[in-house]
Structure 1
Amino acid sequence: MSVAPARTGRGQHPERSQPMHTILLSAGFGLVTASILALAGVGMSLQFSVTNFVNFAYGDYATMGAYLALFAVHKHLPIVGAAAVSGLAMALLSLLIYRVVFRSFVRQRSRNVTLLIVSVGVSLALQGTISAIWGSGFQTYQLNVQSPLHIGPFQLTLQQILIIAIAALALAGVHALLRYTIIGKTMRAMSDNKDLAEVSGINTTRVTDLTWLLSGLLVGIAGVVLAINTSSFTPLLGTQFLFLVFAGVILGGIGRIYGAMLGALIIGMSTEIASPYVGAAYADAAAFVIMILILLIRPSGIFAAKGKA
């Protein structure tokens, strides 16, 4: 899917006769796409690191975040405030879904295929809920149209710069949490060996709850900035975006936080740089080709030799 906005995104590069200029412009859009992917990818990696299963409803968490922000915007909240409200709401919803739906399966050590089917059911339920409340048509935040700013070789709107800034701050916060706090250290210990962490006296239930809260916060914000960047959105917004998130997470190494950040950068850049040459419809395919080629060399991902955190 196209992540860049309609005015300046994929397929909108008139400078085709200037290859280097086109590449540099596309790299700017790639930074925006990578920022959104990194927010969602880090949250997914956090979930996987403590529960050891891939949540296929995760894309719909992002969609729900976008629609909750839409509700806040309709209540005359500025978009930044709406994103904050959406992130907090999705943190609570993520924890609620885990406790009500997933936790019993995780505690019973159910097979991954069982959890996958359950997460697909959650995905369909969220899509149905969104469609029932907001309808299945296109929605928009109706933000002011902005002219691109020239920042070196890049042309980015203030909204795109804001997306990069929000992602940078959020990811820096995740880094600080994991490296410099007791909670972060217990998360890392649990991601390395859950059984050993529990024997060592770590409250794994509390750590798991905090992880789902944090991942919900990140994906809620990711859904809002994704909706901003695509200009308009439908209940299928996150479902389409999920495959790019998967690509970044797999490329970096499943369950590895910093790998998800690097994977997001590679996928974001490759899709946007490929777009003016192969077309928006095939740009995502180019990203998956790159992912496959790298995984042929390092099957476990770029961070295969590192710890999960």
Structure 2
Amino acid sequence: MELPLLTPLVSDGFYMNCQPMELPLLTPLVSDGFYMNCQPMELPLLTPLVSDGYYMNCQPMELPLLTPLVSDGFYMNCQPMELPLLTPLVSDGFYMNCQPMELPLLTPLVSDGFYMNCQPMELPLLIPLVSDGFYMNCQPMELPLLTPLVSDGFYMNCQPMELPLLIPLVSDGFYMNCQPMELPLLIPLVSDGFYMNCQPMELPLLTPLVSDGFYMNCQPMELPLLIPLVSDGFYMNCQPMELPLLTPLVSDGFYMNCQPMELPLLIPLVSDGFYMNCQPMELPLLTLWSVMVFI
């Protein structure tokens, strides 16, 4: 699509005049990797999906090309705010009494990496954003510092459940007929790394975590189990909609007067995929954090 700004889940408001890279197929959860030669905008806050409320007075870093889904990596010399809990997108409910770490540069989308000496809460299940439904009877690992957005890395000796499909947060819609790889531990936020010998599907370009808001008249695929946080993997033969700009995972905070789409199954955590013919609201810039606060 012809977008002046960066791709979804990217700090769109932070960079402009980006040139697209020549990629035959864009990888899942890639942000600035799609664009190069970006010019930074003068913004005081951090990028979206970043713990904006947790740090302040950050200085921008001089990076020629920003890495995908990087948050505090854009900024350094951040001062922590006095917050008792963990950063956003963190398993806050799973740990308590955490002490902040002295880090000069915060890593991207890090959760417990910001904190140490956390005490685990008595929860039987895995942490959020983890493929809980894929594994059972997991034993917790003795880790002094939990890595960012790690799922099964927190647990070992897990027994796989009998599921025919891929792991959540995987770009299932891009590949089919995949053979599982022999991995003792699944890597976090890895997509096709779980599978090999995958055959690409004939899709014009359906980026992951981009749902039906960009496409309409989609035909459901014959899948026995729909993976969470998967969008276009559920549908094929989609026709693009004429939308000015509906950013994925950005919902009605940017748009109003939306009409619901007639879809047989609405994907979880999908926003604009539920609605079409939306009118943009007069907002200068609403980061994802602002949307959360707005909602």
Same fold? TM cut 0.5: no
Per chain length, whose mean CA-contact separation is higher, i.e. which structure has more relative contact order (CA < 8 Å, sep 6+)?
Answer: 1
Which structure shows the bigger proportion of residues in strand conformation?
Answer: 2
Which structure shows the bigger proportion of residues in helix conformation?
Answer: 1
TM-score category by the smaller chain? Answer: under 0.3
